[in-house]
Every structure is written in C-alpha cells, then in structure tokens.
Amino acid sequence: MARTLAFDSSAVVKNARSLFWAKGFEAASIPELEAATGLSRSSIYNTFGSKRGLFDAAVQSYLDEIVRPRLQPLTADHVEANALIEYLDGLSSVFSQPDALPTSNGCLLINTANSPLSTDSHVSKVIQAYREELEAAFNRGIHASRSDLDPIVQQRLASTVTGLVVAAFALVRIAPAQARTLLEDAKTLVACER
C-alpha cells in the first residue's frame, strides 16, 4: 500500500522555486532546500528523485504559475490590440518595485540559460521552448495591434521584442532602470514600426 504524502507538494515546489529563482540551481544547496521546503534530504529524494527533479518541478511551476498567466492575454482566443503594450507596461511596473521577485531575481529560465546547467540537453530544450513561447505570444500581440504590417515584418518585430524582453530580464537585477528602458524601446518599436 502506497504511503500518502504528509506535506503539500505544491507548497514544497513553490518554496524550492523561490530558492532556485534567487540563487540558481548550482548555488542552492540541499541544506537550504531542506530549510526552504521543510523536507528532509531523504523526503526530497523520495518525492522528486533528486535535486534536479525538484528543480524541474520548480521550473514547471514557474511556467504554469508565473509566466503563462502573464502571457494569457496574448495567448487567448481573441487578442486585444493593446495586449502586448499592456504586457510590456505590466512588466515595467513590476521592474519598478525593488522587492518584486522578477526585479530582485530576474527570470528563472533566463538565469538558468546563463548557468552551467544550460548545457544539459533537457534544460536547454525547456529554455528554447520558453523563448519560442514568448515570441509566439508577442507575435500574436503584434498581429492584433499591427495587422497593417507584412507578416514577415510582424515576425521580425516579434523576434526583436522577444530579444529586448530577454535582455531586460537578464539586466533587471543589476540595472532595473535600464531594463525598463529596454521595455520602453520594445513599446516604441511596436507602435512605430512601418
């Protein structure tokens, strides 16, 4: 008979996610994960298989609970013309709050892309899929607001906006004002590209 879990695995994953987000996979130690999650080392390994298994669960949680809800207006059946500008404004607003996790920690996946773990083929595929998901959402926002543009120009603009957002996430921990400037540049491109 299987034992029932005596803890809330969702809360465990969220707490681990916060630690991984702040410190990265490599720097987050097992004792720190034990403290953050309230689980013993053996419970972490029995439940998630490894530290890496817990990280993978944290990344999925990050995508499902942080990234995709923010992208939802850009991925809905009907995308409003101002959805991409509102996304960029919302992100800029978050970057104005020093204590907000995206400001103090950047993006969990962009941070991971710049770490040794990014050489793992599974992790690199997850990061690439994340970038593609951003670009597809931004392309839908550009299509909704700039249907006057040729589809090739729309795609290039979506790619450029994706690059600016990724750069903003990479920069925000050390230079939030400059990260916000990149988001303003993205807004300007969306509004002015002809």
Instruction: Give me the average pLDDT of each 10-residue run along the chain (194 residues).
Output: 63 96 96 95 94 97 96 97 97 95 93 94 97 98 94 97 97 96 96 65
Q: Are 71 and 137 in contact (CB under 8 A)?
A: yes
Q: Are 52 and 33 in contact (CB under 8 A)?
A: no
Q: Taking the CA of residue 106 as centre, how many other CA atoms within 13 Å lie in the half-sphere pointing to its CB?
A: 23
Give the C-alpha separation, 39 to 60, whole Å: 20
* All residues at 6 or more sequence positions from 59 whose CB lies less than 8 Å from its CB, including other chains: 17, 108, 109, 112, 126
Give the C-alpha separation, 28 to 12, whole Å: 15
Neighbours of 127 (CB within 10 A): 19
Q: Residue 1: what pLDDT?
A: 44
Q: Residue 5: what pLDDT?
A: 54
Give the C-alpha separation, 172 to 155, whole Å: 25
Neighbours of 190 (CB within 10 A): 20
Q: Residue 125: what pLDDT?
A: 97
